[in-house]
């Protein structure tokens, strides 16, 4: 168990709040809570039924966020027959977000509401006591017997694994507090579609993501937040510390971490690369071994590379919070026993992840297929724009040649062109004769490393271009 001890770093002093989870000295998870970012998962809404689809056995709900949300029959606890018998058009009901909006699809919601605590999860309409499979038979009986009397009507509770090591009175008190919280949420409901309750991602949701018993340290940079956490999570108070510059104890700074996780290529030892490519339908992860520093690349060596890559792939999936369909292209192995070993190791590694993952196996093409549940927003989606394709320098040389030849019919006497130094060097390799010999205008070419490839800056009379070059102090080349 000691190997799974964790450190949490929670930064709330800055406008954008961040959380970092460290296990065995490595950053495994990064959470961003940014002002103005709409988060639906976990939030409770008052929703109005807009449409009931008998074919889909689902309802479309206005929850006040723009797109209509999707409610499946299976997530309505009181629905025992057709969905039309459980919800009616125009009716208002309480729903909770379970999946964020994706593209043009609205969010998914559930009518089986949950109010989470450290030891139990209260369900206003759960109608049963559910227990963690990791609890022993004796603990299950003791906890169920103690908590059942606190439930009435359709109320239910899920008893978490952490309840096993907690004082029974503490667990009972938490259930009562969660019930009070629910009453507070709904007391002022005026039957208007919209948000009723949302718990902050940081610090609350991150604090409950892992068992308190697995937390070695919880380091917070704001003294007022420390007091709040000690009050909200008394069983963790001994491990919560205030450190004004707590981020200095992290392996790297937040800004450096963000630069790492937005890069598509991850470099490992011995020249192994992991390339992460996000598409609309899935995420493809490729293990690249072309720089591998070894002797002849044998089947056993391929297995060794794959095993080394597997651990880092698992870490990157958690760190970047990659969800949906994930395809991993490991190095091809001809030995089926080694393939099974790799698959087993990947499943073992993914058990460290609190987010539900399902590994389906390795296809005939050697691709490992898996899925990961979508919960919080991926930090990459918040931090970086989608990368646009850019032309190679070789392509840019030919494009520049075409642009200048097409412009040669104009009345301009001269052009001032800025080119990247790399383009200037590649041009010499690609073109047998200078571009300047192909056009009637005089060329003034300067090198500039700050531009991406090239830029035609000015076109006009010869005197105007010469004057501009002199005023700006450019060093130019006329033979290009």
Whether residues 91 and 102 share a domain: the answer is yes
Whether residues 98 and 138 share a domain: the answer is no
| Span 11-58, pLDDT tens digits | 999 999 999 999 989 999 999 998 877 778 899 999 999 999 999 999
Whether residues 155 and 170 share a domain: the answer is yes
Q: What is the CATH number of the domain that holds 466?
A: 3.30.2320
Domain termination residue (choose one: 90, 113, 136): 113
Strands (E), 192-345: 194-197, 215-220, 240-242, 265-267, 273-278, 283-288, 324-329
Whether residues 323 and 279 share a domain: the answer is yes
- What is the residue-level pLDDT of the chain in tens, covering all 480 positions? 344 689 999 999 999 999 999 998 999 999 999 887 777 889 999 999 999 999 999 999 999 988 899 999 999 999 999 999 999 999 999 999 998 887 778 899 999 999 999 999 999 999 999 999 989 999 999 999 999 999 999 999 999 998 998 899 999 999 999 999 999 999 877 788 999 999 888 999 999 998 888 899 999 999 999 999 998 888 889 999 999 888 888 999 999 999 999 999 999 987 889 999 988 789 999 998 766 655 556 778 889 999 999 999 999 999 999 999 999 999 988 888 999 999 999 999 999 899 999 999 998 888 999 999 888 888 988 888 776 668 899 999 999 999 999 888 888 999 999 999 999 999 989 998 899 899 999 999 999 998 989 999 999 999 999 999 999 999 999 888
Domain termination residue (choose one: 383, 411, 438): 383
The dihedral built from the CA positions of residue 216, 222, 228 and 231, taken in this order, carries a sign that is positive
Whether residues 278 and 369 share a domain: the answer is yes
Whether residues 313 and 363 share a domain: the answer is yes
| 168 part of a folded domain | yes
Whether residues 277 and 340 share a domain: the answer is yes
DSSP string, 81-98: S-GGGT--TT-EEEEEEE
Count of domains forming the chain:
4
Whether residues 121 and 137 share a domain: the answer is yes
SS3 for 26?
strand
Domain termination residue (choose one: 173, 194, 215): 194
Range of the domain at 416: 393-472
Q: Can you tell me the distance from the alpha carbon of 180 to that of 95, in angstroms, rounded to the nearest whole number?
A: 18
| Span 423-448, pLDDT tens digits | 999 998 999 889 989 999 999 999 99
| 160 part of a folded domain | yes
| 370 part of a folded domain | yes
Contacts of 364 (CB under 8 A, 6+ apart): none
| 236 part of a folded domain | no
Contacts of 284 (CB under 8 A, 6+ apart): 276, 277, 326, 327, 328, 329
Provide the 8-state DSSP code for 146: H
């Amino acid at each position: 168990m000691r190997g799974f001890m964790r450190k949490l770093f929670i930064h709330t002093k800055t406008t954008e709040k961040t959380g970092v989870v460290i296990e065995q000295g490595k950053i495994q998870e990064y959470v961003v809570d940014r002002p103005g970012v709409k988060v639906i998962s976990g939030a409770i809404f008052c929703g109005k039924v807009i449409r009931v689809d008998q074919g889909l056995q689902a309802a479309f709900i206005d929850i006040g966020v723009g797109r209509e949300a999707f409610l499946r029959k299976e997530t309505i606890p009181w629905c025992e027959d057709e969905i039309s018998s459980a919800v009616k058009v125009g009716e208002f009901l309480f729903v909770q977000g379970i999946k964020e909006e994706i593209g043009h699809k609205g969010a998914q919601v559930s009518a089986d509401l949950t109010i989470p605590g450290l030891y139990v999860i209260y369900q206003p309409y759960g109608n049963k006591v559910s227990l963690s499979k990791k609890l022993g038979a004796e603990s299950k009986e003791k906890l169920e017997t103690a908590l059942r009397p606190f439930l009435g009507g359709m109320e239910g509770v899920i008893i978490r694994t952490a309840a096993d090591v907690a004082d029974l009175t503490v667990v009972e008190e938490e259930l009562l507090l969660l019930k009070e919280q629910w009453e507070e949420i709904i007391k002022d409901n005026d039957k208007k579609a919209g948000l009723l309750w949302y718990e902050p991602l940081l610090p609350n949701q991150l604090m409950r993501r892992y068992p308190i018993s697995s937390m070695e340290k919880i380091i917070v940079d704001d003294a007022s937040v420390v007091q709040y956490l000690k009050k909200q999570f008394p069983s963790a108070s001994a491990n919560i510390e205030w450190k004004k510059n707590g981020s200095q104890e992290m392996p790297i700074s937040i800004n450096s971490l963000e630069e790492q996780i937005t890069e598509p290529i991850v470099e490992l030892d011995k020249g192994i690369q992991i390339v992460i490519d996000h598409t609309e339908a899935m995420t493809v992860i490729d293990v690249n071994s072309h720089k591998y520093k070894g002797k002849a690349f044998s089947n056993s060596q391929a297995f060794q590379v794959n095993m080394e890559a597997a651990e880092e792939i698992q870490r990157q999936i958690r760190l970047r919070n990659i969800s949906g369909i994930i395809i991993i292209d490991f190095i091809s192995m001809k030995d089926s026993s080694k393939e099974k070993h790799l698959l087993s190791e990947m499943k073992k590694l993914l058990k460290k992840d609190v987010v539900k993952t399902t590994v389906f196996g390795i296809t005939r093409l050697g691709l490992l297929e898996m899925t990961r549940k979508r919960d919080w927003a991926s930090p990459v989606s918040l931090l970086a724009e989608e990368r646009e394709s850019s032309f190679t320098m070789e392509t840019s040389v030919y494009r520049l040649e075409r642009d200048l030849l097409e412009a040669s019919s104009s009345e301009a006497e001269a052009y001032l062109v800025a080119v990247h130094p790399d383009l200037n060097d590649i041009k010499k390799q690609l073109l047998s004769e200078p571009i300047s010999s192909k056009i009637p205008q005089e060329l003034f070419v300067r090198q500039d490393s700050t531009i991406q490839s090239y830029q035609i800056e000015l076109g006009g009379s010869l005197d105007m271009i010469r004057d501009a070059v002199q005023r700006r102090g450019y060093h130019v080349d006329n033979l290009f």
